[in-house]
Structure 1
Amino acid sequence: MPIIPQRLIPEIYKDKVIQKHIWIGLILMITQITVFKLFYPFADFFSDSYSYIYAAITGLNVNLWPIGYTKFIWLFHHITHSDTALVVFQYLLIQGATLYLLFTVFYYYQPGKTVKLVVYYILMLNPLSLYLSNYISSDGLFLALSLLWAGQLIRIMHRPTILLMMLHSLLIVIAFTVRYNAVFYPVISAIAYLLTSKKLAYKATGILLPVLLVALFISYTRNETQKYTGTKEFSVFGGWQLANNALYMYPFIELHDAPPAQCAGFHQTVIKFFEKAGDQMKSLSPADGAFYLRDQRAPLKVYLAERMGNKEDSTGGIQSWGSVSPIYSAYGSFLISGYPFSFTRHFIFPNFGNYWVPPLEKLEVYNLGSNKVSSIAGYWFDYPSSNVRVGSATVQKVILGLFPVLFGGLNFLYLITLIGVIRTGKLKTTSQSLKLGILLFTCLLIANAAFGILASPIVFRYMAFPMVILIIFSGVLMEKLDLNEK
């Protein structure tokens, strides 16, 4: 008697080959995470990790970062306090979502056996999934949600149902609560709905429902933030990010107009900083990360300290950061709108270069190179002390060292193969289903790249999702070129 009745198994998973590779995948996952945790017995932490934990402990409904991951670890904490259990769950979630997307592509687009096996084992043996899942950070959860969303996009184009529409809308808003990068997901989903053969009412509902849910979440967050800052802000962090991005061009411009009145005090702090720093700040670029946001000597942190004085902030930074966020937002907008060409030259162009070879950043070293964690992490995970141990804190830089270059190479490979199937006319022999899939996922990759380049300094952990998409569809396109040569 089967463990699960056949009538409850979706058609896609009744395939014997897929069932076989589900079991192989489970064995590979369990083996890899077991060996990995022998070398990394503790989870990995950085500043964001402690912010998530603090918000979970205090029951905050808004945070400096999107609240979704905080609620996730809060719920998980009610099941177990074990950091190992959390890491293992995150890993299984990432790899399970990867299999979901893979098998969806295999089922609907029918690539050849070689492509299936190569792509399958590349993704099942991907060490990046292990390192991302070991972080107490939204990276792993957002990757898993994004992969599930991508798989649903394909299903929407092929077998759209009311239930799928509801689940898809819910998945988008959950992903958005975890990371605001999902803001463009409804646009890509709208393209998928428009490519279906369903009636207009279904398409319109599918397009508008996630937009409505996201809008409701934004409204809720703005109201919650107002309780702490007195201002209806959606993202407390947004103003900081905007000012950080704008300040990269500051050493290269001469201001002709005064900034908005509310920014006068902060502007003086900026002037003093750059006068003292001199020309050395001209060498900074987005490749150095969010320097102006994180460095204690930079204007953002200095002005915050001046504003707060000796006041205590018991909200994990929401109140203090939120009090200056509107000022930073106005200042960043003033600089960018007044000097768009300088902003393009000194932020967007360097960040565009970053996209092709994104820095490993925090992935270079375990726990930022420290053998201790904050007491709040010890409390949350029931650690016996603040000391943590690891097989090697730096070997991950060696293991992942070539991944940024590989990411750039995958982008070029996808671009070249896409141009190849179009220019040679071989796209004409491709099924309509695959043509629409290539169109949709090309739009997704372009939107993801544009958002990343324009929004913040790019780092490699943000590129995990497009990397999976590139691996899968580069394989599909390469096979298409090869098969048509024969």
Structure 2
Amino acid sequence: MANYVSSDAFFLSLSLIWFTQLFWIIDQPTNKLILLNAIILFIAFTVRYNALFYPLIAIVALFQGRHKTLHKIGGIAISFILIGIFITYSSNKYKKLTGHRQFTPFTGWQTANNALYAYRYVDSSKRHSVPKRYQQLDQMVRTYFDTTRDTKKNPQESLMASTVYMWDERSPLCIYMENQFKKDSTAGPFKKWATVAPLLSDYGGFLIREYPKEFIKYYLAPNAIKYYAPPVEFLSQYSTGVDSVTYIAQVWFDYKSKKLKTHFKDYQVKSLDFLPILTGTMNFVLFFSLISFITLKGYKQYVKLNHGMLLVVTLWLVNFGFSVFASPIALRFQLFPILVSFSFSVFLMEYLIKSANGIKIEDKNTQISDTLTNTGDVIVNPNF
């Protein structure tokens, strides 16, 4: 993932640092650590908005820690204040650019995209009337659906719960955007994209409310399956399958030629193909290992592992809800919860193996922590 020019690797690193700090906050809480954790969270949020749900996980960690309630509330407040400042700043910038106050145009495009994956299965005879402000866009959408029924000629229409309608220039959303700026040759791509986003958000929300059953069946359900085993997406191709770069990329990276070299026989990257299968397997293992851990009352023997599992379960559930309802699901977006889930699956399996073999389990770390409490030493918990 780090071989691509994107923020994915950086965001993953920040997420792992932030999540690791939560364990320290539970075990060895200090005001400086709480402040640092809030700052890392803020930086992660500015890189990718997936961090929007991170404060919910931080709340769980803070209230497990051994510090005063006032400090817990303060730690939560700092995170929300920093994120609130960034949201306000971004909203004001978009207000100045487009005349509409919005945190991110991506939300509007994503909402409309998700809704269309359900709307295309609504028969014309069962269509509901739409408000006047949506009629032009709605007519373009229905015309597009009627002319792309042949999936052999339009393979993109065979995809389920994808993001084609957001980025494909042939999609009705993109065509509508371009039509709105036919008389304005000065508007750049970013301004066009941001300006139509509020209307797309409202239109997508309208379709979801009008056709909730179709939305659940044709978008949420397929997206939930993708969460179980996230697709590799464009990581399956080196340089997205293109054998050369533009001149500006050549200058920026100081390439001698526009032509790209690769160690693969072609531009297909097959080394990651096993990851969706592994992810699905580990989700299965994590779930049943957790059930066994609870049934065998392992939470009474491994107190600190119990604290960690509470964070992991919270991360898994909140990320599931956010990803399925509001975000495209791809391997690169899910690597953070995948790595965390994999790690704790190993811990749970260790516990089950020891229990099956009659090995006595002691939470030695609790004893060590209690011993060092009065010395002020900082310890590393071997369980993590």
What TM-score do the two structures reach when normalised by structure 1?
0.69
- Equivalent residues in 2 for 1:284-323 (5 A)? 284-286=159-161, 289-309=162-182, 311-312=184-185, 315=188, 317-323=189-195
The answer as to 2:139 corresponding to 1:268 is yes
User: Which residue number corresponds to residue 457 of structure 1?
Assistant: 328
- Asked whether the 8 Å contact 1:157–1:192 carries over to 2, the reply is yes
Deviation at 1:462, TM superposition (A): 1.1
- Richer in helix (by share): 1
Which amino acid in the other structure matches residue 471 of structure 1?
Answer: F
Deviation at 1:393, TM superposition (A): 6.2
User: Which residue number corresponds to residue 329 of structure 1?
Assistant: 201
User: Which residue number corresponds to residue 10 of structure 2?
Assistant: 141
- Equivalent residues in 2 for 1:379-398 (5 A)? 379-392=251-264, 394=266, 397-398=269-270
Query: In 2, Cα distance between the equivalents of 1:376 and 1:172?
Result: 33
- Equivalent residues in 2 for 1:388-427 (5 A)? 388-392=260-264, 394=266, 397-427=269-299
Change (3 A) 1:138 1:257: same
Deviation at 1:380, TM superposition (A): 2.4
- Asked whether the 8 Å contact 1:417–1:477 carries over to 2, the reply is yes
Query: In 2, Cα distance between the equivalents of 1:353 and 1:454?
Result: 13
Deviation at 1:148, TM superposition (A): 0.3
Query: In 1, Cα distance between the equivalents of 2:167 and 2:213?
Result: 25
Deviations 1:159-205 (A, max 9, x none): 11111111111111110111111000001001111111211110000
The secondary structure found in structure 1 opposite 2:174 is helix
User: Which residue number corresponds to residue 338 of structure 2?
Assistant: 467
- Asked whether the 8 Å contact 1:364–1:396 carries over to 2, the reply is yes
- Equivalent residues in 2 for 1:39-438 (5 A)? 132-254=1-123, 256-278=127-149, 280=151, 283-286=158-161, 289-309=162-182, 311-312=184-185, 315=188, 317-392=189-264, 394=266, 397-430=269-302, 432-438=303-309
Which of the pair has the greater relative contact order for Cα pairs under 8 Å at 6+ separation? 1
Which amino acid in the other structure matches residue 381 of structure 1?
Answer: F
Which amino acid in the other structure matches residue 220 of structure 1?
Answer: Y
Query: In 2, Cα distance between the equivalents of 1:413 and 1:297?
Result: 42
Deviation at 1:349, TM superposition (A): 0.2
Query: In 2, Cα distance between the equivalents of 1:424 and 1:452?
Result: 32
Query: In 2, Cα distance between the equivalents of 1:148 and 1:204?
Result: 22
Deviations 1:420-443 (A, max 9, x none): 11123333322x222111111111
Query: In 2, Cα distance between the equivalents of 1:160 and 1:411?
Result: 31
The secondary structure found in structure 2 opposite 1:466 is helix
The answer as to 2:316 corresponding to 1:445 is yes
Query: In 2, Cα distance between the equivalents of 1:279 and 1:208?
Result: 53
Query: In 1, Cα distance between the equivalents of 2:289 and 2:328?
Result: 28
Query: In 2, Cα distance between the equivalents of 1:398 and 1:302?
Result: 34
Deviation at 1:210, TM superposition (A): 0.6
Deviation at 1:394, TM superposition (A): 4.6
Deviation at 1:133, TM superposition (A): 0.7
Query: In 2, Cα distance between the equivalents of 1:183 and 1:434?
Result: 26
Which amino acid in the other structure matches residue 277 of structure 2?
Answer: V
Change (3 A) 1:271 1:148: same
Change (3 A) 1:338 1:417: same
Moved more, 298-307 or 273-282: 273-282
Which amino acid in the other structure matches residue 314 of structure 2?
Answer: C
Change (3 A) 1:467 1:393: farther
Deviations 1:122-153 (A, max 9, x none): xxxxxxxxxx1111111101100000011011
Deviation at 1:310, TM superposition (A): 6.4
Change (3 A) 1:148 1:338: same
Query: In 1, Cα distance between the equivalents of 2:122 and 2:334?
Result: 31
Deviations 1:240-266 (A, max 9, x none): 111000000112225654333332221
The secondary structure found in structure 2 opposite 1:134 is coil
What TM-score do the two structures reach when normalised by structure 2?
0.87
Change (3 A) 1:141 1:253: same
Moved more, 148-157 or 450-459: 450-459
Which amino acid in the other structure matches residue 319 of structure 2?
Answer: N
Query: In 1, Cα distance between the equivalents of 2:251 and 2:106?
Result: 26
Change (3 A) 1:313 1:162: farther
Deviation at 1:323, TM superposition (A): 1.5
Deviation at 1:279, TM superposition (A): 6.7
Deviations 1:320-365 (A, max 9, x none): 1012111110110001122222111110100011112211111111
Change (3 A) 1:371 1:313: farther
Gaps spanning 5+ residues in structure 1: where? 1-131
- Asked whether the 8 Å contact 1:260–1:334 carries over to 2, the reply is no
- Asked whether the 8 Å contact 2:241–2:267 carries over to 1, the reply is no
* Aligned length, in residue pairs: 351
The secondary structure found in structure 2 opposite 1:399 is coil
Moved more, 174-183 or 377-386: 377-386
Query: In 2, Cα distance between the equivalents of 1:166 and 1:414?
Result: 32
Say what the alpha-carbon RMSD is for the aligned residues: 1.8
Change (3 A) 1:394 1:208: farther
Deviation at 1:416, TM superposition (A): 1.1
Change (3 A) 1:407 1:395: farther
Query: In 2, Cα distance between the equivalents of 1:144 and 1:307?
Result: 40
